[in-house]
Structure 1
Amino acid sequence: MNLLAGEGREAYLRFIVAGLESPVASAMLRLHGRQTGNGGNLVHVLNTAWDENNVTWLTKPAVTGARLDSIKTVDAKKWHAMNVTAAVAGNGTLDFALIGTGPQLVSYDSRESSNAQPELIVVLQNFEADLLTVPLYGLYEIMLQATAEGVNPYVDGPGVAATFTGVSGAAQGKSLTVKGFWDGGNVYRVRFSPFALGEWRWVSSSNDSGLNGKSGAFLCEGRLPANHANTT
């Protein structure tokens, strides 16, 4: 997937949303950068009468929806999140257009990628109410299981990381990718200390199918006790 504003390039994405049984609390579109450069505006495309195998510059859908969010700079091999809550009302087909804003070629991984496909993450209102609460600068830990035990995980074991993205409160717009570690057998863990109040969501990435594409969320509320101190 490429963007090049200087040559009038636009990229289109389509998601089929199904199975939602509660009102949407928030929605986030995640794109994985392949090449560093200027970003692009994310626009909601209202006209869904197009097909990726036949669309051309002359037959492309009209970009009539309001701008939802934007990316200023795309970093290669990093995830970039955009707030698309205003476009996700429930089940149905969602089309987005990425309009280039700079002279540099910007490349994102497309659905053909093995482990970095574009992702639409939707959180429902009843799910948000049940989120685990973690204090500011507290510890949030993810436990994941690989498909099989490695002979020597430090050498031939799969790598794993999780990208944490803030979607509300002071955390909104903040993002951090944290590498995980092997914890015996086929168990891997990722530890994260939230540095801003609000809702955080995470998605894992790995070359092992058991570790890749897992996701979750939590709320960062309150602070650690005044007498709390980290020890090493």
Structure 2
Amino acid sequence: MTGSLNRSEMDNLTPYYRLLKSHHLFTGFSDKELQHLLAECHLKKLARDEWLFHQGDPAPAFYFVIDGSIKLFRTNRDGNEKIIEVINNHETFAEAIMFSGQHNYPVNAQALKASTLLAIACTRYIDCITRHPQQALALAARLSQRLHAKINEIETLSLKNATHRVVRFLINGITDNLSREPVVELEIPKRLVASRLSIQPETFSRILHHLADEKIIHIKGKLITILDLERLLHYE
């Protein structure tokens, strides 16, 4: 489902306007500029498992996730998926396409659950940052952060064994929980986490169960409680 925003929809987008205003890619825009940008956005609603775009599709826009979860992935000749990234609430993706010299999406995008997105025209955003150079710096910082994250991920996937990858995934996924043990919530199915870590699903499950047997973690559904963070930090 897609379409330009009419006046009624614009009125209903007040909370989304605030979300965009608080996001570092848009904070430097004036209220008027951001309203104009919103007026030219497209609202997209995706059902679970619905495709947003396929690898190779024309790339006129990048996206802001209002609500939901989007997986970015590639598929090899055997039909196996390789998860590149999972994008969640209030995050953006595909903005790098504006400066890559490419005109097509390099990955597939599919909703992991019902999702609502704003499609932001690349040409319109570039026009805005041309008038607001500070926003270009914010975008450069964002792309730099993603580049460093990918470099670290490549190092982990190429130089570390499966156990180390799982341990790093758990440590990086810890949420703030100062009053109790640290907790990691699996926001996507374990098979997709395994794909992201470039290991088999059964290997991922086996390592988790081994850590549980060692009383380092406790698994309950999608929640993984870190019982002994010190041991986990030094676990190989």
Greater relative contact order structure (CA < 8 Å, 6+ sep): 1
Q: Which has the higher helix share?
A: 2
Q: Which has the higher strand share?
A: 1
Tell me if TM exceeds 0.5.
no
